[in-house]
Amino acid sequence: GKGGAFSFGKSKARMMDETNNTVTFADVAGCDEAKEEVNEIVDFLKDPTKFQKLGGRIPRGVLMVGPPGTGKTLLARAIAGEAKVPFFSISGSDFVEMFVGVGASRVRDMFENAKKHSPCIIFIDEIDAVGRHRGAGMGGGNDEREQTLNQLLVEMDGFEASSGVIVVAATNRADVLDKALLRPGRFDRQVMVGLPDIRGREQILNVHMRKVPIGADVKADILARGTPGFSGADLANLVNEAALFAARRSKRLVEMSDFEDAKDKIYMGPERKSMVMREEERRNTAYHESGHAVIAKLLPKADPVHKVTIMPRGYALGLTWQLPEHDVLSGYKDKMLEEISILFGGRIAEELFVGQMSTGASNDFSRATKLARSMVTRFGMSDSMGVMVYEDSENEGFFGGATKTISEATQQKVDAEIRSILDTQYALSRRLLEENRDKVEKMTRALLDWETIDADQINDIMAGHEPREPKSGVL
Ligand code: ADP
């Protein structure tokens, strides 16, 4: 461990007191939103009673969610550093490999110690190791984990929120956590800490480049552009490796060539496989989103596209943002047909340009099918089936299955009609994308370069020009 951290009591938790934790918000870059969200916690820890008097809702548990190496631990330490309070840290995996009862008693000890040092922060890394929903897995060793989890829940309910202990936990799998952990009064705040975008990468590089002597030819913005998919930890590692190259070459400054070699080394190292995969996935996503966006721009009734991005947010890989032109629901037949085409655009672009399809399209597919089904069976929008309602969604599933009120023969006609709508819209999208290959390619390249493009850049591409440089602040 780092100097200043020490073990105490029976708890395996390490405490770092306010004098040797020097991490502040200035050390955490490229995640301004997350910093803003935790700022309130700093205010609270600085002066719990004053915070209460001002009427602030007292925070208790914060869950940081994001891939490894994105700065969740760093941010938790920075909260403690900014507020100048002690920081206790333990990893969820420390709890689980123990004899029955030990994990639970460690949790108890840790909270007891923390309360003595309040206001303070308890940080639990990899909380999913203990916090997986109960009953998951195959019994056996699970008893211990469940006891530990139960103890954690008891502790979180047991201390007064005003006692000044804040529990921060980190995970990259919020979806596997026991729902009990996320209830009000427990980890009821979630802060997303995602992979940094291009500007975030530049800022993170700048933070770490401050620590080494850097040559005049080194450009953080160029390095940021060449490191898509790198986490904060990857970028810190890049600066470190570059410094090692420079040292081996007996240089006094770290130069761009050292960074280039370091990047090659990282790409070829054990990390390589996941990075190459990330890069491939990024390219697929760029084509997929360009497919949606180009179709949305070409069809007359579709809402304007104001932004397209391949920055991963939450669980979606990318997004095409359309703003409705007027404040109406998409209730018109033409518009609904176009929506189906837009939904198909992503998948077709993958087919045409990548030659293989990702699972990213499966949700688009089910949405398109649902829309077509509603048009035929509920909205009376099919020419051949007429304006009759064939299915009442309110009754659907009431007795466990769909209520069958129509004959087998009619059902077949309904299915055929849905199929025909989908086929027609699919063919339309495919033709449009084939006729506009250059635009899809251009948009994909712009997305790979900038990750997010705005309405002006999209319009440039659709007009057949090169997109203008992004406005500052857009990314
Ligand atoms: P996580 O807890 O999300 O797995 P860490 O906080 O442990 O990631 O990050 C490991 C190291 O990577 C940090 O100590 C820091 O050097 C670097 N790092 C990660 N994210 C950032 C960031 N947003 N800004 C600056 N450095 C970062």
| pLDDT in the model for residue 4 | 36
Distance CA 66, CA 170 (A): 8
Which atom of ligand 1 has the smallest separation from the CA of 29? 24
Distance CA 444, CA 401 (A): 43
Closest C-alpha to ligand 1, atom 14:
74
Phi/psi at 214 (5° precision): -110, 135
The neighbour count for residue 2, using CB atoms within 10 Å, is: 8
Q: What is the pLDDT of residues 257-304, one digit of tens each?
A: 999 989 888 876 655 555 666 778 888 989 999 999 999 999 988 778
pLDDT band at 473 (very low <50, low <70, confident <90, very high): very low
For residue 164, the CA-to-ligand 1 centroid distance in Å is 26
Closest C-alpha to ligand 1, atom 17:
233
How are the residues of the chain apportioned to helix, strand and coil, as percentages rounded to the nearest 5?
A: 55, 10, 35
- Which of 105-119, 216-230, 379-393 is predicted least confidently? 379-393
Which atom of ligand 1 has the smallest separation from the CA of 27? 25
User: What ipTM goes with this model?
Assistant: 0.99
For residue 73, the CA-to-ligand 1 centroid distance in Å is 7
For residue 234, the CA-to-ligand 1 centroid distance in Å is 9
- Is the pTM higher than 0.90? The answer reads no
- Is the pLDDT score of 426 beyond 80? yes
Which atom of ligand 1 has the smallest separation from the CA of 207? 25
For residue 62, the CA-to-ligand 1 centroid distance in Å is 18
Distance CA 231, CA 237 (A): 10
Please give the mean pLDDT across all residues of the chain: 82
Is the peptide bond prior to 119 cis by the omega test (within 30 degrees of 0)?
A: yes
Identified catalytic residue from 289, 339, 350, 391: 289
- Structure-token match 């620590």, residue found: 211
Residues within 6 Å of ligand 1 by CB: 28-31, 68-74, 170, 204, 207, 232-233, 236
Which atom of ligand 1 has the smallest separation from the CA of 76? 6
Closest C-alpha to ligand 1, atom 27:
232
Q: Strands (DSSP E) along 277-365, which ranges?
A: 305-309, 319-322
For residue 28, the CA-to-ligand 1 centroid distance in Å is 8
Substitution site in 74, 173, 239 for ligand 1 pocket (most atoms within 8 Å of beta carbon): 74
Give the SS3 label for residue 254. strand
Active site annotation includes 289: yes
